[in-house]
Amino acid sequence: MNAYAAHGPSSPIVPFSIDRRDPGAHEVKIDILYCGVCHSDIHTARNEWGNTTFPVVPGHEIVGRVISTGSDVSRYAIGDMVGIGCFVDSCRTCMSCVAGEEQYCDGGVVWTYNSKEKVTLLPTYGGYSTSIVADEQYVLRVSEKLHLPGVAPLLCAGITTYSPLRHWNVGKGTRVGIMGLGGLGHVAVKIAAALGAEVTVISTSAAKEADALKLGAHDFLLSSDDSAMLKRKSHFDFILNTISAQHDYNRFLSLLRLNGTMTLVGIPPEAVPVRANMLTGRRRNLSGSLIGGIKETQEMLDFCEVHDIVSDTEVIPMSYINEAYERILRSDVRYRFVIDMATLKKD
């Protein structure tokens, strides 16, 4: 079936043909309607993390409809609206899997793309394609009440920001900084505001100030403005760092108050240089977080339904993907590209 793939770190994303099997006993086959474009797709397609096996079919923010089901499937029926996020399988027996945090599986997560299936050892191919087959346990229920293109990014950007915000008990009275107003950052603003926090967007883009406030932030901090940065010194309880490229972490750690925490979700390819006294001086914490488990992803989708949260999207045809990558790298997207997969079927 039709897909789009990168064949090497400097190749564009081009049309490609892949096989999808009929669903096994516990699997469902999903007709993909929309797929979000995550910055991780770019890191992987360009082998910036040094772990890509080519050809790679990116895409892990998938929304679609079940079109066939295996004989033992009980959770989903043909016609159901569902989603798939960053992984499609895990060992199911380690402590993390049993705790519902499959993303930290000790036995090896099977990622939605750039991974190998457990039994067949075949490569996994992601959502830049017309359909996907996955075990029903790794499939999420999606409400048809929400704007569907806007739901797709919740499957990665949504859970990646919801999980650390919940883990660090962000809520009423918490002063939260969201670093980087991109795909992850703009969803983080909506979720943190819905949790009742006092939200500040910390951005390199002065032009995003009005949007930040519209998205639900209470304040905007331009990170290049030294005097504004100084005024927010030791101000925040919690900072979520979604920045995708190398930057000076120390400059932003100074914004945390006593016992404050910065959680990294952005994964720049370069190492992170941190000065120890930036942590010791106010007993600050520096932590990281990776997406979220299936149970928490469903909780996040239900939370977003209740609070009417979806991603702000620019819907694009599949053939626009290479321009979309360039625009993401220029921080020129308001705020997530989502591919309308009907445009691939017509190719």
Which residues, 6+ apart, have CB-to-CB distance to 65 below 8 Å?
30, 31, 33, 79, 80, 81, 82
Contact partner at residue 278 from ligand NAP, Zn ion, none, CB < 5 to 8 Å by partner kind: none
62 or 201: whose CB is closer to Zn ion?
Answer: 62
90 or 200: whose CB is closer to Zn ion?
Answer: 90
Q: How far apart are CA 193 and CA 178, in angstroms?
A: 11
Note whether 223 binds Zn ion by CB under 5 A: no
How many Cβ atoms sit within 10 Å of the Cβ of residue 210? 9
Q: How many residues does the chain have?
A: 347
Which residues, 6+ apart, have CB-to-CB distance to 180 below 8 Å?
202, 203, 204, 241, 242, 243, 244, 266
- Two tokens at 31? 């007709």
Note whether 247 binds ligand NAP by CB under 6 A: yes
Question: Which residue among 23, 150, 177, 182 contacts ligand NAP (CB under 6 A)?
Answer: 182
Q: How far apart are CA 188 and CA 211, in angstroms?
A: 13
65 or 336: whose CB is closer to ligand NAP?
Answer: 336
276-315 residues in contact with ligand NAP (CB under 6 A) are 289-291
With CB under 5 A as the contact rule, which of the stretches 9-17, 111-119, 153-161, 201-209 interacts with Zn ion? 153-161
Number of continuous H segments (helices) and E segments (strands) in the chain:
12, 17
Question: Which residue among 35, 82, 152, 243 contacts ligand NAP (CB under 6 A)?
Answer: 243
87-126 residues in contact with Zn ion (CB under 5 A) are 90-91, 94, 97, 105, 107
Q: How far apart are CA 99 and CA 83, in angstroms?
A: 21
Place of tokens 């793939």: 5
Question: Which residue among 244, 254, 261, 311 contacts ligand NAP (CB under 6 A)?
Answer: 244
CB 34 within 8 A of CB 154: no
How many Cβ atoms sit within 10 Å of the Cβ of residue 29? 20
With CB under 6 A as the contact rule, which of the stretches 169-177, 204-212, 251-259, 272-280 interacts with ligand NAP? 204-212
Which residues, 6+ apart, have CB-to-CB distance to 273 below 8 Å?
249, 250
Question: Which residue among 156, 192, 318, 341 contacts ligand NAP (CB under 6 A)?
Answer: 156
- Rounded CA Rg of the chain: 20
Q: How far apart are CA 219 and CA 199, in angstroms?
A: 7
Q: At what angle do helices 157-167 and 294-306 cross, to 10 degrees?
A: 100
Q: How many residues sit in the footprint of ligand NAP (CB under 6 A)? A: 29
121 or 306: whose CB is closer to Zn ion?
Answer: 121
Minimum distance from residue 38 beta carbon to Zn ion (Å): 3
190 or 208: whose CB is closer to ligand NAP?
Answer: 208
Place of tokens 């009929």: 22
Minimum distance from residue 84 beta carbon to ligand NAP (Å): 15
Question: Which residue among 2, 137, 204, 322 contacts ligand NAP (CB under 6 A)?
Answer: 204
**Conformational region of residue 293, where left means phi above 0, alpha means psi within -120 to 50, and beta covers everything else:** beta
Contact partner at residue 192 from ligand NAP, Zn ion, none, CB < 5 to 8 Å by partner kind: none
Contact partner at residue 183 from ligand NAP, Zn ion, none, CB < 5 to 8 Å by partner kind: ligand NAP
Question: Which residue among 27, 35, 43, 215 contacts ligand NAP (CB under 6 A)?
Answer: 43
Strands 236-241 and 175-179: parallel
25-84 residues in contact with Zn ion (CB under 5 A) are 38, 40
Name the residues that contact Zn ion, by CB under 5 A: 38, 40, 90-91, 94, 97, 105, 107, 156
Binding site for ligand NAP (CB under 6 A): 38-40, 43, 156, 160, 180-185, 203-205, 208, 242-245, 247, 265-267, 289-291, 328, 331
